Structures are given as C-alpha cells and as structure tokens.
C-alpha cells in the first residue's frame, strides 16, 4: 500500500518505495523552500537578522571610530535601535547601546534626533555598569 501516489511538489506519479513523497531531490528541496516561505519567521531568526543588519549599518557609517549623524540616515537603511547586544554607561551617565563592537547613543542636537556612533574600546570592559 502506497502512502502517497503523487509527488507533493510537482504532482507526477511516484514509483519505487511505498513511503516515497517526492520524485527527486529537486522536488523535495523546492517543496521545503516553498513551505519555509509561507511559515512565519521564527523569533530567533528575526532577532538575528535585525542584529546583523544593525551591525552592517553601524559599520558602514562609523569609519572613524566616533561620528555623529542624523537618525534618519540609519532608520532609512532599516536600522532598529531596539535590537542591541549589550550596553555601556560612561562617566557622564550616558548609556551607549552596542551591536557587538559598534555602539550608538541617541541625542537631540538643535531640535534634531541624532546618533553618536562609537567603537568598543578595551577600557569599557573594566568600567562599572
């Protein structure tokens, strides 16, 4: 008795083993890809993808170690400040959020939202948070 009579992807008639679901590996792969596309993104993947995007954007704009720029520049590229890996508090009490080695601090300067971008430094590891 055969469980499936037709390939789950291309619907062609199956021959061979009784528990066979696909006619070949290409149909199996295409079916799995199709299924993955319709399933909602897993939480872990969503967070990981956003962290990778945030890091890429911060790296792109912070070539000199410390830079200040308008927040719109980052946000237009897909930057989301709610996703970060850790934080560091400086002596002034300002809390920099970090995406791996790239940090950012939201400030308001001349009534405009901006971000100060910095790079992680060795001395930051020993300071108290």
Q: Where are the domains of the chain?
A: 1-39, 43-126
For residues 6 and 23, the answer to whether their CB atoms sit within 8 Å is: no
Token pair, residue 113, equals 């939202």
What mean pLDDT is reported for the chain?
91
Report which of 84, 93, 92 is spatially closest to residue 120, judged by C-alpha positions: 84
Would the pLDDT of 128 be above 70? no
Average pLDDT over residues 96-104: 97
CB 78 within 8 A of CB 53: yes
* The predicted structure's pLDDT at residue 109: 93
């Amino acid at each position: 008795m055969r469980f499936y009579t037709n390939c789950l992807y291309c619907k062609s008639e199956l021959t061979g083993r009784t528990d066979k679901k696909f006619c070949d590996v290409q149909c199996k792969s295409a079916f799995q890809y199709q299924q993955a596309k319709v399933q909602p993104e897993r939480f872990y993947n969503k967070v990981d993808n956003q962290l990778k995007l945030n890091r890429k954007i911060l790296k792109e704009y912070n070539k000199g170690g410390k830079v200040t720029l308008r927040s719109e520049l980052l946000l237009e590229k897909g930057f989301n400040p709610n996703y970060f890996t850790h934080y560091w508090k400086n002596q002034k009490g300002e809390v920099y959020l970090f995406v791996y080695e790239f940090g950012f601090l939201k400030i308001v300067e001349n009534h405009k939202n901006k971000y100060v971008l910095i790079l992680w430094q060795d001395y930051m590891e020993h300071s108290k948070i």
